Amino acid sequence: MSRSVFIGRKREIERLEGLYNKKMPSLAVVKGRRRIGKSRLIGEFANISAAQIFWSFAGLAPQDGLAAQEQRDHFARQLVLMFIVPED
């Protein structure tokens, strides 16, 4: 199965390229409603930029019974695991 052609999102790709070309580390948060191509955008950017170091991970989607603090805690745990940060 071939991958479909990626069209549009030029402005978003340019913004990501601007962050990537900075001389300092950056964290980009891509957010929006479901099923609009956020993951595809990040994947395409990773392929276009040929980034030497590129980390991508996703947060927990809002749902009944899941508090905002639980979402933040999950995000923090992912950072700890990905960047091997010692926990307090």
Q: For 23-74, how does the pLDDT look when each residue is reduced to its tens digit (9 = 90+)?
A: 888 888 888 888 899 988 988 888 887 766 777 777 888 889 999 999 999 9
Mean pLDDT to the nearest integer, 4-29:
86
Q: What are phi and psi of 57, to 5 degrees?
A: -150, 160
- Average pLDDT value for residue range 8-25: 89
- How far apart are the C-alpha atoms of 25 and 15, rounded to whole Å? 15
Sorted by where each begins, the domain ranges of the chain are 1-56, 59-88
Q: Please give the model's pTM, rounded to 2 decimal places.
A: 0.67
pLDDT: which is higher, 74 or 4: 74
Report the C-alpha gap between 20 and 79 in whole angstroms. Answer: 19
Query: Which candidate, 72, 67, 42, places its Cα nearest to that of 54?
Result: 42
The pair of three-digit structure tokens given for residue 4, joined into one six-digit string:
């479909």
